Structure 1
Amino acid sequence: MKQKILFAVAIFLCIILFPAQIFAQNPAIIHEEITETNLAKDVVYKCITRFTDVGWYKIHVIEGNIADDFIALEALTSPEGIGVGTTLPHMALNPKIVAAINGDFFISGESYSPIGPLVKNGVMYSSPTYRRDELAVFALDRHNIPMLDYWQWQINLQAKGKNFSLAAINKTSSNFDYPVVYTTAWGKTAPTTKIADIVYIVVENNLITDILQGPGRQVQIPENGMVVMARGNTATQMLQVLEIGTSVELVINSTPDYGTLKLAMGGGTILVKNGAIYPFTHNISGNHPRTALGFSRDGSKVIMVAVEGRTPASRGMSQTELAQLMLELGAYNAINLDGGGSTTMLARKPGDTNLTLVNTPSDGSPRRIANGLSLINNAPQGDLKHILLEVEDKNVFLGFGRTITVRGFDAYYNPVEINPELITWEIAGVDGQIINHVFYPSSTGTAEITAHYLGLSAKLTLKVLESPVELILPEPIKTTPEGTVPFIVYGKNLSGFTALIENKDLNLTTTIGHLEKQTFFSGPREGTGEISINFKGFTYIVPVAVGARRVILDNFESLTATFTSYPTTVTGSYSLDHTSFYSGTAGGKLTYDFTAADATAAAYVQFHGDGIVLETLPERIGVYAYSPTVSSHWLRLTVEDATGKSLNLDLAREINWTGYKFVETQLPQDLKAPLTIKRLYVVETNPAAHDTGEIYFDDLTAIYPHELPGTTYPVQQYLHDPQRIEAPPTDYIFTFSVFGSTTQKKLIDRLVVNKMKALATELAELAVFTGNVDPNILKDLAIPVITAGTGYTTVTYGNNIFLLLDNSSGGLRAHSPQQWHWLKEQLAQITTGNLFIILPRPVWGAGGFTDKLEAELFNQYLSALCAQKINVYVLTGGEDEPTYDVKNGVKYLTVSGTAVNLTETSGLENYSYLRFYVTENGQVYYQVVPLFPLNN
């Protein structure tokens, strides 16, 4: 019989096998930025931001020279043992670690275990998988030569001339039908189980010291030994031979020989072998966050890769794209590791003593995993060799300060402490001074700052901007008691350039919590409050909510539910209990007996009538639950929304506590109120864990976010365009007018369209129409007309270039990726004159680009022309009349036409158009002109 282990349900592995792959070409790159940081003498961190025809990629790469005597690749596990899953930051506690990534796929449940093997210095910490031809293994021999392969292996327990085949070492098992060995690498104790006929065989120094039978035990694992767990016929056969005092030997055979290896760790398929993409033996389809490990042809360079995914900043990669990326990065051989929410990368930046999370995990924070890989810098601590200057933002406003941090490190990038009192400073390019390591400029321009320390020097370039005229606030704060949230305020000047304003330079007051540097600390008190900022006579308000509003739906002081079960063989009861409660005088008691069920079993607290109705949708629902014993059972909640959609939501995936504990579930926000809670229940999917028991409930609670007022953002008159004028200049040599949408939906729209056409004809000059434009309506105009939304092209009038682009699908790429490549070619040819970009929709705001990063990139390219003294205007359709904004020198104007949002009191005075003038010296001016002047 083929042996296998039935593993726990919660496995982060999706198996879709493809016998062959068709390797598509990588998408064309529109834009790419790469930053590099040395983490050690032979270790480099690269961050690649890539915008392509199919979207964004955020790629993190660590390259390390493992041929260097001081650089080592080592496996990481939880300090508490393999069986205790934890996050990568909690694994990477060695201060010599300079980089780390997550490792193997894993099984999770009451405990964690990697699916593949884990070998450290010739010791088998966890055995290989039975999926021998599907899941590959990375290994490093004692000469630091890497290898990728699919392992063959066998484990036997030998005693009295008999061989007992063992299923695994330090792996999670749901039923122990086949024996599993646990060593101290697993943890302090072997797994606890409720399986009735479970047998524990305790071995110390190759002698059986104890044999225990029965569930619910916490069996200590001997320091120089192991515990073998088995049940059923296999256990019976073993006990016929084994007894206390019997000499046993654990024999492990593997190909390759694990005893000759410095390191081995399991993974998924081999991605690349001998410089070519390898036929996938295991494929996780779709675009996801990805982690991979590769090596150069000579094996001296390790390449650790983490690709972000499931976020607007990075779409994730298919497995084929990942293989192509590894080839691109120089991998001659590469293996796929666990990805998705597990993808995590840490790096220790120069001069830092702590590791930094460099990627954004798709779950929002690092996930608990089974193991990881780290690069160790074993170089001895040396004397100070380098200093480095760091700031939070390289832009600074005139009249404000920028804190400069000085970090030191030795020749091997080990951090060295700096004495701030011994630093001296030089400033060139602008006037200013440095006080307590804060640079205060007194003139604008490019500042070159040099720090001198014990014969070493480091330089930093800052851009000093004109003073800000408005603030850009952080989002309203929602956090928990004793929570911390970054509180970052930016300023913006008349030219649209922004810079961080450090909180020490702002007049800040709080009514809840407090601020330290750039961080808000909520403190212990729940409730709402605000952070106010007084700036240039205006008061900005950022609302704050700490904690949440809780509404008790059932206090279990009266009987509001009955017992039901699935299947009918499950028996039990529901009643009030006045001895076990969290609050008040009673709690709900649910008893159950799952032992007669041979499949999934559940016991329900079924609420009376239609259930408990909630008129508004909460953020979370929770309940206090208490079980006298721990178990693998789930606690769940059934809800139904107004559309009849029913959901079973997890409150807890295991009952791993005793005493009352508040457990909760997040509600999907696409549910429609009113919401009805139908039942609470306990369920067990594994027949081997069926038992009898009881659980108590109290204070079923709906949790709502605090109602917050909107952010107060003063309407300021400071952000204006000095090129906007009231009367035409006398020396203009070129002029054109800009009109808005021509779509006719309201009775007034025909009047507006006819007026725009009449004005265009009367002015007898170039007319530009943006927004939703019907070209057929404009066919009878006997003047030059430029119409937005008709693809992309160029129109030139002397030194005035009009680039027509189409963002009607929500962005340039969404309309056509080729549009971006064409735009870059056009912009590269512009060296002088004025540039007018014509778009049907705005770039910013609710009606603008749906991809905010693409909008920022668009502005970045245009701003580069502004730096060459080219005037850049982006003219778009809109719904408000008119709007003006400026970002990094690029000016954005909207004009609405028939798209104006009219109110009951608004009329013809809300309609206007733009008239531009270009003077002899190339300056651009414009007027906002009423379509219907009041004197008419």
Structure 2
Amino acid sequence: MKAKKLWITFVVSSVIASSFNYSYAAVLHEINQTQQVTNGATHISKEILTSEGWQDLNILRIDLSNPNVELKPITTQVLGERDNILNMATQHGAVAAVNADYFDMSSKTPAFGPVVSDGTIDQAYNNDYNTLGPAKYMGTLLVGEDGTASMDYYSVKMWVEIDGQKAFDLSSYNRIPSSVRIPFIIDRSYYTNNQALITKYQSSVGLYTILVEDDEVTYVSSLNEVVEVPKNGYAIMVSGDKFSTYGPYLTEGAEINIAQVVSLNNAVVEQIENLQMAVGGGGLILKNGAAYQGEAHKVSASSKEPRTIVANTYKENEILLITIDGRLSNTLGATHQDMITILQNLGAKDAMYLDGGGSTTLVARNEGETTLTIQNRPSGTVQRNVANGIGVFTTNATGEVANLTLEPSSERTFVGESITFNLKATDKNGNPVQLNQKEVSLSIAGVTGDFSGFKFSPKTTGNGLVVATVGDVSATAEIKVTQPKGLMIEPATLQLDENATKQVQVYGVDSEGYKIPITTGQITWKSKNSKVSAAGTTIAATNKAIDQLEASYQGATGKVNVVVGPSVVALESFEESLGKWAAGGSTVEGKVEASKEVKYHGNQSIKMTYTFNKDSNKQVAYTVFDKPIVLTEDAKSLNMWILANGQGDTLKVQVEDAKGKVHYLTLADSLNHTGWKYMSAALPNDIAMPAKATKLYVYSANGSKEKRTSAIYMDHVSMTRGDRNAENSSARSDYQFDSHYKPTLQAATGNQYSVKVLGPTSISGMVHSDETLAKMSKKVNTGASMIVQASKNNLPLSLSPKVATYNNTFGQATQGALDVIFVGTDNGGIRETNGSQWAQLKQSLQASTGKHIVLVMSKNPTTQFSDAREGKALHDYLAEYKKTTGKNVFVVTTGSTSKEVRIEDGIRYIRLNGLATSTGQVGEGEYLLFKVVGDDIYYTFESML
């Protein structure tokens, strides 16, 4: 068969380039990563936080004028079979790829549009006999030999010519048509022989097979005869009932030519004999940079879906292959109108859909790597098997090393803790070069240590510069070697079954708060109660116990609390024992009864109904348990399920210890929830055990302005086992490792100054005398240059001279070299509260001239943002800001009944509980004190009284 002629036809479309304003979510924050796949092909990853949520884009930017790169279709080796893009790209030797054409998921059929490679059609339907493609406004991507890419509704036609004259039409090439009564062609690309087709049609019309080599008919089979397809030719398949029509043209020795035409609007205006590639797709999106106004095949145009798109740009010979993820948590997808805006922002000129939804997949090798990696997140969590794709190929064989990249497994380590380096090499075209370790020379300056292959074990502290050299090409990487100041064990509290083991992770923490995993062989352990043992990172126990283990490493220590046996033990579900009603004050009425209709566990709960009559004095309603609830020696907290209706009263439990001392433990400062809620009160460290819970009571400290009746239900009381004398396991105390923390701070003198930060001081159910308010005001004011109220819940303290208060909006205050920035997060994060604060925060940080940044918000980004991804993005932004500016960054939040300090990547997250203590004792309330001394800053916690 002679070279196929492809008449690629164009007409000028009457596209009206009107200007439309499509609404699209505001961009709040963007995370971009760019890496070279090969010379001429770049992979760009964009994680975009918008006012609506996260938009995830992966873009292959291809320069088709670069001789090192080209596009080709990639398909499965068996016609009609499907495979995932990663497998297809790997089998074809592509360096990157995206999925391409649409296909029928319900049957084993090829893709809808044509597949053209290196100037020949690999697969195509004749669109005169097939209703797909342009008839359904499904476009085709064409790439000419000169690298020019176009997208439009191209149709394919094909026929057999005898002596230069058209003899008859063909219905398809390497595609099984819906009707075989029009002849079709198969070649060796997908068929070794015709067996599968004969099997399919022999019981109906049957098939004749005409073999063609070098444009000459070499064999005409009998009906349903199984024959091999020529290696350098093709076979024309003719149905048995139509052979009399077409057979006379196809006698042995006849010379024939296959004509194939790709046309636009049925008009031939230009002929291109060598087409680099073509592949089918979907509807047009853009034409000349404007929204396409004609008919277009769009899937779920108005809903946000995963999308795959091909586009060209105003830069000559540049093409974009784009995927947008969707249908997953924390990733939006895109509507058709979203796509228009996104593509225009990317500088696209013309654009067309490829198959999206669950098919959307982009694979590419990472810079310097030989294997391909899935770069996006397919919506089905795994790749879908698809019909074909667009592959990106390098045209050059791998050359000599031209560039090196040296990546340490960690930028920080301790003396004796090794770092492993990954060295990647590429040639002048960015193609990976395999290295022999013997070719590589490694050295280090700034610290001393030993190399073992690509692993370095430091012997001294300091800043190290590692140099890797291959021939005359070098790469460097910086590391920092320190000594641990303390150990952190995760989890901080471990629950073990009896006769069981579990793993923990031990980290060393340096003076800047950076965590580094510790080699297990260098850790020694000590047991407090000799009930639990440990070796390496494995904790083991035999019998039910409460214990605390202390790990030691290079003089640093850390502790883990271990509970062997159940961590939570059920105590009472009020199936038989109930309670009696009691009241504090004559204006309180009520009753206690069993409730079988409303219950959390078992057959019934206790319902306490109470009425607070109009009274300005404190009013209290009690349930006195018929049988006190016993808390054993190993109890750490008392828990129960409470159903409320947002009445706002304070809820406490009365506990009497073994010495007869009564403790009043707070379950809720304010019953502001509706429905069932699990509530817990920590037992004081000094409580004498065993103890017993005797009463549950609600009260309104300020009485009631009018008569109101409320009710609570209580059920399923339990206790949490643990060491009461240990640090609160749910609250981190990283300040113990922090060089900026001091147990006490002297008053500022000279040019020094102090800033005091208060947690919540107005606590529901807690009433203070004027004398107490005055004492707190005096204590806070003394020595303070500025006072920051980090909560909206504040007592009417007399504060001076400079006061700044959090009110869930953006704000700023400055004291010397300390900048305070307020960011509202009450709704669960910045975006949910007011997304414009992202820009305000960045602008303020970039404009800050201060050495110290105190960021005040109500939610901790690392643990409390409802969108954990937004929280991580904010943390990463702050960590990079600290790294590049050298500034100290503190993030102060409020909440809970205990303070906490978490240090992550050098960012100090400090939670203040203010007067919200577990015991309700105002004397246990604390504020945060910053003291600035020159360029240094220190902090501590001081009592409010």
For this structure pair, what is the TM-score category when the shorter chain's length is used for normalisation? 0.5 to 0.7
Match of 1:254 among 237, 262, 273: 262
Is the aligned partner of 1:794 residue 2:836? no
Q: Deviations over 1:225-258 (max 9, x none)?
A: 45869xxxxx896477578997598765431679
Distance (whole Å) between structure 1 residues aligned to residue 363 and residue 222 of structure 2? 43
Is the aligned partner of 1:204 residue 2:210? yes
Q: Deviations over 1:243-284 (max 9, x none)?
A: 899759876543167975331101122333334443362334
Distance (whole Å) between structure 2 residues aligned to residue 108 and residue 404 of structure 1? 45
| Structure 1 residue 756: Cα displacement | 6.8
Q: Deviations over 1:94-127 (max 9, x none)?
A: 5753222221222223425212211223224132
Distance (whole Å) between structure 2 residues aligned to residue 301 and residue 498 of structure 1? 44
Match of 2:472 among 435, 442, 455: 455
Aligned CA distance change for structure 1 residues 162 and 895 (closer, same or farther; 3 Å): same
What's 2:921 paired with? Answer: 908
Distance (whole Å) between structure 1 residues aligned to residue 88 and residue 207 of structure 2? 30
Is the aligned partner of 1:356 residue 2:373? yes
Count of residue correspondences = 697
Match of 1:493 among 507, 510, 532: 510
Is the aligned partner of 1:134 residue 2:137? yes
Please give the residue correspondences for 1:741-820 in structure 2 after superposition, counting only pairs within 5 Å. 741=760, 748-750=765-767, 759-760=776-777, 763-764=780-781, 767-771=787-791, 773-774=792-793, 778=796, 785-820=803-838
Give the letter for the 1:794 counterpart.
Q
What's 1:75 paired with? Answer: 73
| Structure 1 residue 854: Cα displacement | 3.7
What's 2:44 paired with? Answer: 46
CA contact (8 A) 1:201 1:227 kept: no
CA contact (8 A) 2:465 2:478 kept: yes
CA contact (8 A) 1:398 1:441 kept: yes
| Structure 1 residue 371: Cα displacement | 0.9
Distance (whole Å) between structure 2 residues aligned to residue 398 and residue 799 of structure 1? 34
CA contact (8 A) 2:413 2:482 kept: yes
Q: Secondary structure at the match of 1:113?
A: coil
Q: Secondary structure at the match of 1:48?
A: strand
CA contact (8 A) 1:136 1:267 kept: yes
Give the letter for the 2:138 counterpart.
L
**TM-score normalised over the length of structure 1:** 0.63
Distance (whole Å) between structure 1 residues aligned to residue 561 and residue 360 of structure 2? 37
Is the aligned partner of 1:118 residue 2:130? no
What's 1:389 paired with? Answer: 406
| Structure 1 residue 32: Cα displacement | 3.8
Aligned CA distance change for structure 1 residues 916 and 713 (closer, same or farther; 3 Å): closer
What's 1:625 paired with? Answer: none
CA contact (8 A) 1:448 1:462 kept: yes
CA contact (8 A) 2:733 2:902 kept: no
Match of 1:378 among 395, 405, 417: 395
CA contact (8 A) 1:909 1:930 kept: no
Distance (whole Å) between structure 2 residues aligned to residue 916 and residue 539 of structure 1? 27
Give the letter for the 2:282 counterpart.
G
CA contact (8 A) 2:160 2:168 kept: yes
Q: Deviations over 1:519-546 (max 9, x none)?
A: xxxxxxxxxxxxx99874779899xxxx
Distance (whole Å) between structure 1 residues aligned to residue 813 and residue 156 of structure 2? 71
Please give the residue correspondences for 1:4-19 in structure 2 after superposition, counting only pairs within 5 Å. none
CA contact (8 A) 1:118 1:124 kept: yes
CA contact (8 A) 1:884 1:894 kept: yes
Give the letter for the 1:282 counterpart.
H
Distance (whole Å) between structure 2 residues aligned to residue 21 and residue 191 of structure 1? 52
Moved more, 69-78 or 416-425: 416-425
CA contact (8 A) 2:122 2:174 kept: no
| Structure 1 residue 910: Cα displacement | 9.3
Distance (whole Å) between structure 1 residues aligned to residue 394 and residue 561 of structure 2? 47
Q: Deviations over 1:685-726 (max 9, x none)?
A: xxxxxxxxxxxxxxxxxxxxxxxx99x999987652444444
Q: Deviations over 1:537-591 (max 9, x none)?
A: 779899xxxxxxxxxxxxxxxxxxxxxxxxxxxxxxxxxxxxxxxxxxxxxxxxx
What's 1:89 paired with? Answer: 86
Match of 1:740 among 759, 764, 783: 759
Moved more, 809-818 or 758-767: 758-767
Distance (whole Å) between structure 1 residues aligned to residue 87 and residue 520 of structure 2? 31
Aligned CA distance change for structure 1 residues 533 and 414 (closer, same or farther; 3 Å): farther
What's 1:432 paired with? Answer: 449
CA contact (8 A) 2:100 2:354 kept: yes
Distance (whole Å) between structure 1 residues aligned to residue 174 and residue 774 of structure 2? 80
CA contact (8 A) 1:914 1:926 kept: no
What's 1:148 paired with? Answer: 151
CA contact (8 A) 1:810 1:851 kept: no
Is the aligned partner of 1:876 residue 2:893? yes
Q: Secondary structure at the match of 1:93?
A: helix
Q: Secondary structure at the match of 1:97?
A: coil
Aligned CA distance change for structure 1 residues 420 and 915 (closer, same or farther; 3 Å): closer
Aligned CA distance change for structure 1 residues 91 and 506 (closer, same or farther; 3 Å): farther
Give the letter for the 1:134 counterpart.
Y
| Structure 1 residue 822: Cα displacement | 1.2
What's 2:105 paired with? Answer: 108
What's 1:59 paired with? Answer: 57
CA contact (8 A) 1:209 1:245 kept: no
Aligned CA distance change for structure 1 residues 375 and 790 (closer, same or farther; 3 Å): closer
What's 2:309 paired with? Answer: 292
CA contact (8 A) 1:391 1:404 kept: yes
Aligned CA distance change for structure 1 residues 725 and 339 (closer, same or farther; 3 Å): same
Please give the residue correspondences for 1:277-356 in structure 2 after superposition, counting only pairs within 5 Å. 277-279=291-293, 281-284=296-299, 285=301, 286-297=303-314, 299-311=316-328, 314-356=331-373
Distance (whole Å) between structure 2 residues aligned to residue 381 and residue 461 of structure 1? 29
What's 2:646 paired with? Answer: none
Moved more, 173-182 or 367-376: 173-182
Q: Deviations over 1:150-169 (max 9, x none)?
A: 1234456899x998877655
| Structure 1 residue 827: Cα displacement | 1.4
| Structure 1 residue 138: Cα displacement | 0.6
What's 1:839 paired with? Answer: 857
CA contact (8 A) 2:819 2:850 kept: no
Is the aligned partner of 1:272 residue 2:272? no
Distance (whole Å) between structure 2 residues aligned to residue 362 and residue 376 of structure 1? 26
What's 2:418 paired with? Answer: 401
Please give the residue correspondences for 1:637-652 in structure 2 after superposition, counting only pairs within 5 Å. none
Q: Secondary structure at the match of 2:73?
A: strand
Give the letter for the 1:62 counterpart.
L
Distance (whole Å) between structure 1 residues aligned to residue 206 and residue 505 of structure 2? 57
| Structure 1 residue 190: Cα displacement | 4.1
**RMSD, aligned CA:** 4.9
Q: Secondary structure at the match of 1:366?
A: coil
| Structure 1 residue 74: Cα displacement | 1.0
Aligned CA distance change for structure 1 residues 328 and 490 (closer, same or farther; 3 Å): farther
CA contact (8 A) 2:492 2:729 kept: no
Distance (whole Å) between structure 1 residues aligned to residue 65 and residue 166 of structure 2? 45
Distance (whole Å) between structure 2 residues aligned to residue 277 and residue 45 of structure 1? 26
Q: Deviations over 1:576-621 (max 9, x none)?
A: xxxxxxxxxxxxxxxxxxxxxxxxxxxxxxxxxxxxxxxxxxxxxx
Structure 1, unaligned runs of 5 or more: 1-17, 230-234, 477-486, 509-531, 543-708
What's 1:37 paired with? Answer: 35
| Structure 1 residue 488: Cα displacement | 10
Aligned CA distance change for structure 1 residues 394 and 97 (closer, same or farther; 3 Å): farther
Give the letter for the 1:69 counterpart.
P
Aligned CA distance change for structure 1 residues 915 and 380 (closer, same or farther; 3 Å): closer
CA contact (8 A) 1:200 1:227 kept: no
CA contact (8 A) 2:20 2:291 kept: no
Give the letter for the 2:58 counterpart.
H
Q: Secondary structure at the match of 2:836?
A: helix
Aligned CA distance change for structure 1 residues 258 and 135 (closer, same or farther; 3 Å): farther
| Structure 1 residue 474: Cα displacement | 11
